[in-house]
Structure formats: C-alpha cells, structure tokens
Structure 1
C-alpha cells in the first residue's frame, strides 16, 4: 500500500507553514524536497565520517570512499544498468551533458555536421550544443512538438540524416510533462549508426527506467530532483562511447601517472572524475535513491498518475485557464497561463500567499516558449508526496488569482 501521509511525514519541510498557510509544494520540477533519511545521512557524514576519498589509507578516508563508491552501484540499479563502471558521478545533468559535448562530440564534429533536438529541451540540453554551433559550425536540427504537446518519434527518426552525428532528446518534458518514447528513437538511430543522448532529469524521478532496455548511449540524471542533495548526479555512458571520450577536466584522481613530459589517464569512469568530488552530496543521493526504490518506482508512478488524472479533471473546470501540453499519458506537470493580462510572476505571487509554491518563468526552455508563442508560464509539478487535497488548494488559489486579475 502506498501511504502518502506516512511518506509526507518523512519530509520535515512539509509540516511548515508559508504566509500562515500549510505549505503546498508544487515546484518539484525545479527541485524536490528531502526526506529525513537524506538529511540524517548528510549530517552524519559531515559530523562523524567526513574525509576525502580515494586518497587516504586511514579509517575515515576508507569509510568515506566505501560509501561514496557504493553510490555508483546504487545508481546502476536505479537505472537498470548491469555494469556500474558505465556510471560517471558528477554534479548533475548540466555537467554530464557538457562532458559529452566537450569530451565526445567536439573531437568528432565539424562544420555541417548535425545534432537533432526536440524543441522542448531544457537549456542544459541545448546550450552545450550551441557551443559546438558557434565554435565548429555544427548545425542544430529541431523537431517541433504536436498541437497537444506530444512529440512524434517518427519525426525525430526522419530528421536523422547522413550528416547527423547525435540525437539529444529529453525523456520527459519539464514544461509540458510529455513522455518521449526514447527506446523507439534509440532503436532507429542505432540502425543508422547515430548515438543518442537522453536527458533523464525529469523522467528518472517519476517512473521506472531501464537503460539496458532503452539502449541509449548517454543518459543524464541530477540528484536534487531525485529527493537528494544539489550538486550531485551522474551520467550513464555506454562502454564503447567511454572508449571514444577524451577527459572533460584534468586534475587529481583521474590519472595514473603525471610527469613533466606526459600524463597517463586512469580507466573509465575515474578518467572522467577529476578533482575532489561532491562526496557528501553523492552519499546523500545514494540514500535518496534507496528511499525511492524502497517505495517502489512503479508505486510512485501509479500515485503520481492518480494525482495527474485528478488535476486534469479539476483544471478542466477552469475555462479561463490555458494549460500547455495535453499529451496522452503525460507526467504530473502542468504549465498554464490565465486569460487576460496577468503575468505568470503575478499569478505565482498570489498563489504563494496561499502557501502554494509553483514555478513561474520560461523554465529554461526558451525554444519551447517561442514555439508556444509565450514568454512565461506558471508550472505546478507534482511529486511522490503530493495529494489530491493539495490539488484542491491549488484550484482555490487559482480561482483567487482569476478573481483578482479579471
């Protein structure tokens, strides 16, 4: 049984008030709250077990190294990866995608080569490719969403041409909630000899992921959305791609030997993990993933589907509210505007007065905003601890905003 009230008790921040109202936290798409077990793990690591990793033979260093390295296996289990050496630990999706851009794509691409993207990508999966466009003349080839916000996978596949060197696509849109059939894209791209990078920042939070089945070449996740600490994350890289990648950053821990005349690199994944890492953040991420797997990703997905369906029903009754993205089986993410002149920031401010936390802005998705003909939306994004009663509170706050701005 999925006991959401028991789960909510695991998150201390959910018991606080904001502006004299119980907190209704619906900004999970930006960053999720942390359960007490993660907070305790971080406190314990700093209070009793902190040391640098991989560098010492003393007790504290051994403990920190063992706990830190164990997270690599935890992430592999979470993502359905058989070989944990394909997991590179880092600070999150942004670092992971930049690592691929600089370490894999840059040495392989020249002027006229193409990267296929969907228009609903997050800036983390856009800007690194613009670097290649600016510096090497790489062409970005965009695939638009459909009228309902869905992404036609066949259009992505058809966009792969003889000059395509990479497909970079989200698994779940952070604005529209659209789920993408990345397996179909990966299968087709593999037949054409084109690697696929998947931004899993949102999808890995909301549904089971099995990368051995999906078959992508790269898959990035970020810890702060996974109920873990900020500054933590990982990227999965297929072994054959690891062999093709040059180091992204140089420094300690990613080398075997260094002399005045040469450097010998460590084997992957250590080859791509230069310097002192986010030790405690990564340990906290491992605890967060264990927490999620303890609840069961299927159970989390089913709970969020129920919340989504209830929210769809309630929001449909507000004929002055424009919801962006109505793709079938979308995630529990709702971006919306109000009829009239009310700006998303003003709406968000009114909702905050009622204790409801939502995001307002372009959501780091400029090309999608341009495609939709908007400058900003409000976004309510639900997580494993949200409830139907919180949907009701959101509706009440939206009705107040409409009354004030109509």
Structure 2
C-alpha cells in the first residue's frame, strides 16, 4: 500500500460542481427568498424504508462528480457544494447554504470541515463542538424547530447563530460520521413532494464517503507511524544518525510542496525519504561503525545498499514509485551518479528531491569525525554550489525558496 492520504477517492465530488456552480448566478443568503428555518414539517419523521429517487441517476451523478480529494476535509467541502448543486438541479429543494460537521477523534468532538453558501463570518468563530452524549446524536433528519432535547440543542450549537444569521432549517445526520446543516429557501414556503427521499439518499451517500475517508486517514496515519518507527530503528544502528530519516522526510516534503506537487506525490516522496536508508540494513554494523577508511569491497557493499533497499520495497504492492526514488537517490544531475548514471530529467522526480533533502540533512547532522555544519554559510551554500552538477537546479531553487534563500 502506498502512503497517500485518500488520493483520488473514487466517490469524491468536484468537476461537476465547478461546472454547475461557477456558471450560476450568485445568491445572497436570505436576500430575495423566504427563509424557511421556522417551517414546521407536517410529517417531520422521515420514513427510513423510503427508497432513494432514481438510484441509477444518483449513482451516475456521483461518478460524474468524482475528482481528487486528499482527506476528510476535502471531501466535506466537496459534499457541501455537491448537495447544493444537486438540490438546485433537481428543483426539489433550494439550499442557500450548507455546513458539514465531521466527528474527529474518540471524545465526541465535531469540527466544521466543509461549507458552501453565504455565511456571516462572525458566526464561524467557533468551528468545534463536543457531543455531550450518545443520546445527543440525531438518528434521522429533522427540522430544527421540531427537534427536541439534546439533538436539537446540538443542532442549534452547530448552527453558527448570530444576530444576523437565522438558524439552519434542517439537520441531516450522515450515519455516525457527521452532520449536515441546511439553510433552505422557498419563494412560496412549499417544498416539492420528493424532498425526503432525496435528502435520505444524500445522507446515505455522505455517510459512505465520510466513513471511507476517515478509515483511510486512520490507516494512513498508522502506516506513516510504522514507517517512522522502522526508519528510527534503521538510523539507530549507527552512531550520530538518530532522527536522520525524519529530517530527510521533513525537508523532502517541504521541497515537494514548494514545487507545487500534488499531495499524493508529496506523500510518496515523504515516504521514500523515511525509508531512504532501508538498504543500510544490508550493510554490516562493523562497516557502518568503522572509524577508518573503507576498503574497496566495503565501499562496494555501501554503494549497492540503495539497490538492495529498493528491491525490498518494490516487493510490496503499490510501493514501486517509492522504490524508484530510493534506488536512484544517488544519481547525479550531470549523469555521473549511480547505479544507472541517469542524467537530468531522466532521474525520477522523487529521487531528485530526495538527493537535495538527504544532502542537506547529512551536512547539518552530527558525524563521528565532525559536528553539524552551519546552515547559513555552510550547508545551504554547499547545496547551492551543487546545483546543475550533482543536484537538479529546479529542486535546489525550490529548496532555497522554502528556506528563505535564493540562488
């Protein structure tokens, strides 16, 4: 499995929303239409057995909306926009604004992670809340005015109330993963008859999306923690290398983001950096801890270690891009490196980023024969001097910008 936070989750919504919303006329919340936050539904209890309208068309809509999203926060934002666009296109409900709250952690804490529509900024000051008890969590959608007890209190707490912004109209739970608050508008105070199954269908889809994203985030977090622990164990085999791989990963991710790479690529490069020393497990501790110069056979053992590490990583499904970066981390931009003497852009991007990050981390780390090199006037100048020779000038430039310097 490749460490990347929910990259290209197949359900997520985006391009469709951009097409439908960007071209529509903007609306001011509650400016021209009647706010229905005070509506009383004549039949407020939703029928859980009611089938979703046009399941195939809803599925097609979800697939058409699929785009990139990196985590639950991205999905929440897409959901808020998608709900409004779907309701508007259906003609069943006109939603002026939508806020998505998602449960995070195990202490009942909710966070406002997605919203779409016009909100009073002063009403967004408090973007976290705590569910007091399991009984406070609503089980079915309900009109705020008709809600009772702890569930209604929770909905009002999340409603971002202020003197200028009315309370939301409808509270829609998405399983146990999150809540959607909808501000509904109508010119005549009436809703089309198909609104209940449509809301139910969206709630079910939203629960599936959020559950999927949150599970992936937890899995990715655990996998990342495992990678850090293994990296620490590898580093601790050698004196003065404690924390080296974490440092390389930090600088590699910094460079990748400065270069504008997407979060999936950033995550792969960070993972490769954490395990860039995997191959050193193939080198004996006697060689790693040797104080004197290495023999030719010992040097050959060290030089071959990156290939060994790459082979081990490539044996795991989904690790090929990471293994590729590890294998080629000692290539040089001028083609004088190893193991394949690749040159320029023939060297994988991950390996080019890794080369800069590892060089800087090595120079600013302690070694048996010297202390850490100074950052300014030492390590950064060395990196800059290697630009176009050992190192990719584009990557070096991004590194220096991220560090507040320039070539």
**TM-score over 0.5 (shorter chain):** no
Task: Give the number of the structure whose residues are more often strand, by fraction.
Answer: 1
The structure with the larger Rg is 2
The structure richer in helix per residue is 2
Q: Normalising by the residue count of structure 1, what TM-score does the alignment of the two structures yield? A: 0.28
TM-score, with normalisation over the residues of structure 2?
0.28
